[in-house]
Amino acid sequence: MFSELDMKIGLISGHEIKGLKKSQIIEVDTNYGRVSINAWKISQHDVFFIKRHGKESNLPPHKVNYRANIQALASCGVKRIIALNTVGSLNKNIKPGDLVIPHDFIDFTKNRDYTFYDDRRFHIDMSKPFCPELRVLIHENAKRIKKTGVHNEGVYLATEGPRLETVSEIKMFSNSADIVGMTLIPELVLAREKGLCYASLCIVSNMAAGLQDMLKADDIIKTSRKLEPIISEIIVSTIRNMDDKIRCNCIEAVKGAEI
């Protein structure tokens, strides 16, 4: 079913992606644990989907096995990763129901496995943490579908969780961040350490603390689920319009990173 010649694309999400016909499940063993991957074929591309929070979707953000997930995709030959992340908005111009394709991040997490290189001095460049080519491709396809507001840049504030942020925390970052979530880091950093292209499509489910009434997890989930058909359409369209030639410099970040 899968060809060595076809472009291999990774998808990581906290939810099922509707509209993709499941074809087979692959169990991949890594140094960090076993990962279950759903594999599809979209056009000429091999697609490998990981449920970020585990098979049972029960792992909170700070307990996700990010290293195993990225290692598993790399082992499958994946070169590009599209991640879906649910976020709150700190920016009054970004509303619940909108989509954001972030271009930068602020890391406010505290206690995660941030690197594959615990025994080596490896300093990956993060000047452009997200793949610019992949970001443009996602944005073009999201604009073409025209079913919700799409923002082609934004700064993602990564917090530890599992609690939501305080009003004072949101105020502290309101001049430097646009959206806030718990699952981008260290996933993005690990993908970059592997030389993979990575871009995120963020689903804005709510305004952050202090910008709306008390936040409830159920309300966040409801907003995300309403957008699932649109998200699936954007993802499928993006993959179908992706060619096999990588023109970005993401792989170059690995070169010269080790001292």
Tens digit of each residue's pLDDT (9 = 90 or more) over 234-244: 999 999 999 88
DSSP lists the bridge partners of residue 30 as: 33
Mean residue pLDDT of the chain comes to 92
More confident residue, 190 or 42: 190
The residue-averaged pLDDT of 40-60 equals 90
**CB-side exposure of 155: number of CA atoms within 13 Å?**
13
Q: How far is CA 240 from CA 42, 45, 171, 196, 243, in A?
A: 7, 8, 40, 19, 8
In this prediction, residue 137 carries a pLDDT of 97
H helices of 132-193, in order, are 132-145, 167-173, 187-193
147 neighbors 233 (Cβ within 8 angstroms):
yes
Asked if residue 4 has pLDDT above 70, the reply is no
Contact 74, 193 (CB under 8 A): no
Rounded CA gap, 33 and 38, in Å? 17
The one-letter amino acid at 163: R
Q: Is the model's pLDDT at 257 over the cut of 90?
A: no
Are 236 and 138 in contact by the 8 Å Cβ rule? The answer is: no
For residues 89 and 146, what is the distance between their CA atoms, to the nearest angstrom? Answer: 21
pLDDT at 21: 63
122/160 Cα distance (integer angstroms): 23
d(CA 11, CA 83): 6
Residue range 153-164, pLDDT digits in tens = 999 999 999 999
Residue 6, pLDDT score:
67
pLDDT tens digit sequence for 163-195: 999 999 999 999 999 999 999 999 999 999 999
pLDDT band at 19 (very low <50, low <70, confident <90, very high): low
pLDDT (average), residues 96-108: 97
Return the pLDDT at 215: 75
For residues 89 and 207, is the Cβ–Cβ distance under 8 A? yes
- Segments making up each domain of the chain, as ranges: 8-254
- Domain 8-254: state its class: alpha beta
CB 7 within 8 A of CB 44: yes
Split at pLDDT 50, 70, 90, the class of 7 is confident
CA 35 vs CA 61, 77, 98, 117, 202: distances in Å:
16, 15, 31, 20, 23
Identify the residue with better confidence: 129 or 259.
Answer: 129
Predicted pLDDT of residue 182: 98
Q: What integer is the mean pLDDT of 19-31? A: 83
User: Which residues make Cβ contacts (< 8 Å) with residue 118, sequence separation at least 6?
Assistant: none
pLDDT score of 213? 83
What is the pTM for the complete model shown? Answer: 0.94
